[in-house]
């Protein structure tokens, strides 16, 4: 069924209307006059980045694995000029000879296709291009050189290109095309029709000898069955650079009943092309796919009712847009159309030459939107306002941080992104789109990484770790037993939940210690001081066994309050801190009247999560209160007096 849904997507989005062409980045345009002479000092760049601008380019169906095959009108260094990408690469003489012969065969194929176009549709522009091609077969064009950088910054040899403006650029795997007499040949409709005819011939030749039968995707009889499914699916992590297949029977052991290759899962050539093109389109669109670690998630509505789906929020959720979506998830959308439409999502992972489908979803679009709406409501958590960003240095790359994106949420479970488990990402996307509850087993790595950062990472800022605490809140609330509290977006000061209040109490005591340690300094308040803090020493133990730590810290807090009271900087704050401590302690019931508050002996995993959230939300509430007080005390500048 999944392949049928992909096939329908390709048909409904008109992805099969012109299979002879596909979008491809072309960085360099070689300008020629009517005689095929180069105009300017070299090619012109089509864009600022290293890939260049995307054009609708001819696409060959001939397999390139064997070599000697090029594209039409737009291709790379080897196809256009016959030059090796690395002529100094060490290799045996026989292998070098074969590689050089393959390079020349690829160049000859490139120019032979242009010559065939001129025979079919003679034109002065194509004739000028052929004249240029004849000259560069004798010697490379003057704008190319192999060697080291002229500025001495790199000792490694490479191909360098002199641009039309006279600057020199290092070449990578970039494509060239041609403009003759001001006409871009890629956009010449006569040449495009020539390529459609040639592409049709290639397809017909490739299908010669195909077996006929019923297609499992479309259900149609007497269809030409594809022995292998092309084009390959590209962009899935852990697959080869030229792509991989979903349906693949490349070993005799995978066959059955005497069928060879993909005839074990008979699919028409047209259907195989359609679902492959659909999947490549989805993977290449940020509105329809998300990559998280070694997993790719694709999602789409069956019909075209919603031009830009809200599911793109999973990738880069903008806070303002998310806020609008949470308030009105169906704004601007006809609800009846959404009710009739379906929504599909698939999780893909790579295994060398094959693509593994880990999970897929088929639900109504209305339900998917409501699930996504609830996902962001469950992730909502109050975070203090951030200080304005400092201006980035020229050329510096800004960190692409979106705390509520699937990627950053998943990263809270690991030390480094490369350690992300496909199972973790699959759980989170199912929770977002299918409305499921992520496993409680995720709490352990989230809390372990929190403890590690508190103790070992001097740059860690608890207040702005929104991803971690938002995900903690969602997991706890979706797995919440009836007799435990529901975590709200902001601090809950009147709950009797012991674990949550233990976290709050530790946060207050840690803040008191921070003030005491910084009472006599001229620096501003700082989470990390030269001394070991309460968070460093006691967070891990307090979150598991509060009764073994909190009484000790309460006694220690008296010394901190004395120091704060005597300081010029924080004098008077001790009364507020004492009131905070007492307001939390009163929520704990003593074992017997007249005894001090009784703290839990041990906390299970869910209670440890509530402890961490109480700790965070108390800190966040205090930080927000300090920001409010600071604004209230800031004097308003007097208006300027004009003469």
* pLDDT tens column, 132-181: 999 998 888 999 999 988 877 777 899 999 999 889 999 988 999 999 99
pLDDT at 565 over 90: no
Tokens at 249, concatenated: 């029977």
Least confident of 95-104, 250-259, 349-358, 421-430: 250-259
**CA end-to-end distance (rounded Å), the chain:** 78
CA 21 → CA 47, 68, 94, 147, distances in Å? Answer: 21, 20, 37, 35
Q: Are residues 445 and 570 in the same domain?
A: no
Q: Are residues 233 and 111 in the same domain?
A: no
Beta-carbon contacts of residue 112 (< 8 Å; ≥ 6 apart): none
Residue at 641 is within a domain: no
61-70 per-position pLDDT tens digit: 887 776 889 9
Give the pLDDT score at 358: 85
Backbone angles phi, psi at 588, to 5 degrees: -95, 130
Q: Are residues 582 and 443 in the same domain?
A: no
Q: Are residues 278 and 305 in the same domain?
A: no
The model's pTM is: 0.74
Give the HSE-up count for residue 285: Cα atoms under 13 Å, Cβ half-sphere: 16
Q: Are residues 302 and 182 in the same domain?
A: no
What is the rounded CA–CA span in Å between residue 309 and residue 267?
30
225-274 per-position pLDDT tens digit: 888 887 888 889 888 877 888 887 766 656 666 566 667 788 888 898 89
Residue bearing the bigger pLDDT, 311 or 146 = 146
Give the HSE-up count for residue 517: Cα atoms under 13 Å, Cβ half-sphere: 17
Which of 540, 532, 541 lies closest to 513, judged by CA? 532
Residue at 642 is within a domain: no
Q: Scanning the structure block, which residue is given the tokens 């209040």?
A: 501
Q: How many residues does the chain have?
A: 643
| Mean pLDDT, range 539-563, rounded to an integer | 92
Whether residue 83 contacts residue 66, with contact meaning beta carbons closer than 8 Å, is answered with no
Give the pLDDT score at 521: 57
Q: Are residues 419 and 556 in the same domain?
A: no
pLDDT range class, residue 393, cuts 50, 70, 90: very low
433-463 per-position pLDDT tens digit: 899 999 999 999 999 999 999 988 888 889 9
- Of 445, 478, 511, the position where a domain reaches its end is 478
CA 452 → CA 414, 448, 539, distances in Å? Answer: 11, 6, 10
| Mean pLDDT, range 33-47, rounded to an integer | 92
- Of 283, 303, 324, the position where a domain reaches its end is 283
Least confident of 134-143, 298-307, 522-531, 597-606: 522-531
Q: Are residues 275 and 306 in the same domain?
A: no
323-337 per-position pLDDT tens digit: 766 676 666 566 676
Least confident of 84-98, 232-246, 625-639: 625-639
- Of 449, 478, 507, the position where a domain reaches its end is 478
- DSSP letter at 524 equals P
Whether residue 182 contacts residue 31, with contact meaning beta carbons closer than 8 Å, is answered with no
pLDDT range class, residue 533, cuts 50, 70, 90: confident
Give the pLDDT score at 291: 84
Residue at 639 is within a domain: no
Secondary structure (DSSP) of 380-397: ----PPPPPPPPPPTTPP
Q: Are residues 117 and 223 in the same domain?
A: no
Give the pLDDT score at 482: 87
Least confident of 40-49, 131-140, 306-315: 306-315
Provide the percentage of residues in the chain whose pLDDT is more than 70. Answer: 88
pLDDT at 343 over 80: yes
Which of 129, 121, 112, 122 lies closest to 30, judged by CA? 129
Give the pLDDT score at 365: 83
Give the pLDDT score at 194: 96
Residue at 317 is within a domain: yes
Average pLDDT along the chain: 85
Q: Are residues 241 and 257 in the same domain?
A: yes
10-37 per-position pLDDT tens digit: 998 888 888 899 888 999 999 999 999 9
Give the pLDDT score at 629: 82
464-520 per-position pLDDT tens digit: 999 999 999 999 999 999 889 999 999 999 999 999 999 999 999 999 988 888 776
Give the pLDDT score at 129: 96
Q: Domain limits at 363? A: 289-383+401-478
Q: Are residues 336 and 365 in the same domain?
A: yes
**Number of domains present in the structure of the chain:** 4
Beta-carbon contacts of residue 130 (< 8 Å; ≥ 6 apart): 36, 111, 114, 115, 118
Residue at 487 is within a domain: no
Residue at 584 is within a domain: yes
Q: Are residues 249 and 318 in the same domain?
A: no
Cα 601–Cα 602–Cα 607 angle in degrees, nearest 5: 130
What is the rounded CA–CA span in Å between residue 188 and residue 55?
13
Whether residue 76 contacts residue 107, with contact meaning beta carbons closer than 8 Å, is answered with no
Residue at 552 is within a domain: yes
Residue at 134 is within a domain: yes
Q: Are residues 123 and 218 in the same domain?
A: no
């Amino acid at each position: 069924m999944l392949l049928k849904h992909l096939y329908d997507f390709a048909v409904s989005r008109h992805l099969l209307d012109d299979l002879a062409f596909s979008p491809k980045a072309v960085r360099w345009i070689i300008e020629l006059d009517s005689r095929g002479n180069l105009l300017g000092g070299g090619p012109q760049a089509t864009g600022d980045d290293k890939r260049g601008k995307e054009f609708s380019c001819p696409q060959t169906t001939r397999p390139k694995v064997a070599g000697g095959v090029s594209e039409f009108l737009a291709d790379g260094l080897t196809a256009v000029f016959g030059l090796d990408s690395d002529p100094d690469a060490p290799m045996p003489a026989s292998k070098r000879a074969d590689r050089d012969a393959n390079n020349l065969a690829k160049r000859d194929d490139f120019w032979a296709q242009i010559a065939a176009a001129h025979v079919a549709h003679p034109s002065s522009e194509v004739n000028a291009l052929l004249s240029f091609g004849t000259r560069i077969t004798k010697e490379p064009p003057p704008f190319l050189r192999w060697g080291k950088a002229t500025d001495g910054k790199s000792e490694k040899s490479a191909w360098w290109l002199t641009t039309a403006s006279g600057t020199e650029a290092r070449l990578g795997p970039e494509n060239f095309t041609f403009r003759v007499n001001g006409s871009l040949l890629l956009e010449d409709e006569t040449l495009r029709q020539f390529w459609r005819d040639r592409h049709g011939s290639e397809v017909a030749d490739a299908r010669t000898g195909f077996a006929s039968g019923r297609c499992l995707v479309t259900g149609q009889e007497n269809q030409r069955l594809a022995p292998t499914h092309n084009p390959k699916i590209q962009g899935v992590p852990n697959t080869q650079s030229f792509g991989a297949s979903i349906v693949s029977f490349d070993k005799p052991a995978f066959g059955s009943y005497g069928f060879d290759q993909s005839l074990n899962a008979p699919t028409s050539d047209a259907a195989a092309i359609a679902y492959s093109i659909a999947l490549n389109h989805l993977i290449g669109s940020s509105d329809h796919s998300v990559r998280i670690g070694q997993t790719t998630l694709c999602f789409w509505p069956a019909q075209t009712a919603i031009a830009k789906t809200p599911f793109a929020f999973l990738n880069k959720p903008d806070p303002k847009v998310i806020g609008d979506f949470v308030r009105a998830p169906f704004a601007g959308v006809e609800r009846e159309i959404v009710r009739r439409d379906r929504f599909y999502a698939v999780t893909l992972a790579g295994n060398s030459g094959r693509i593994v489908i880990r999970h897929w979803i088929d639900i109504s679009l209305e339900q998917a939107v409501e699930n996504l709406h609830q996902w962001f409501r469950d992730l909502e958590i109050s975070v203090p306002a951030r200080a304005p960003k400092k201006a980035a240095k020229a050329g510096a790359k800004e960190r692409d941080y979106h705390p509520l994106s699937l990627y950053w949420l998943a990263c809270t479970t690991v030390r480094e992104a490369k350690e992300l488990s496909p199972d973790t990402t699959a759980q989170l996307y199912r929770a977002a789109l299918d409305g499921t509850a992520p496993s409680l087993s995720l709490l352990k790595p989230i809390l372990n990484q929190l403890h590690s950062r508190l103790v070992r990472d001097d740059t860690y800022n608890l207040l702005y770790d929104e991803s971690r605490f938002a995900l903690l809140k969602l997991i706890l609330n979706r797995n919440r037993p009836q007799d435990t509290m529901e975590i709200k977006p902001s601090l809950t000061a009147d709950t009797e939940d012991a674990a949550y209040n233990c976290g709050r109490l530790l946060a207050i005591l840690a803040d008191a210690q921070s003030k005491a340690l910084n009472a006599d300094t001229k620096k501003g308040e700082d989470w990390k001081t030269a001394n070991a803090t309460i968070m460093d020493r006691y967070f891990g133990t307090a979150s598991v066994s509060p009764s073994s730590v909190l009484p000790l810290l309460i006694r220690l807090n008296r010394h901190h309050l004395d120091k704060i009271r005597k300081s010029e900087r924080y004098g008077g704050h001790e009364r507020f801190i004492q009131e905070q401590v007492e307001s939390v302690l009163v929520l704990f019931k003593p074992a017997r009247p007249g005894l001090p508050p009784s703290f839990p002996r041990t906390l299970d995993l869910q209670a440890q999560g509530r402890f961490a959230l109480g700790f965070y939300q108390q800190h966040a509430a205090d930080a927000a209160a300090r920001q409010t007080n600071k604004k209230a005390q800031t004097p308003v500048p007097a208006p300027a007096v004009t003469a």
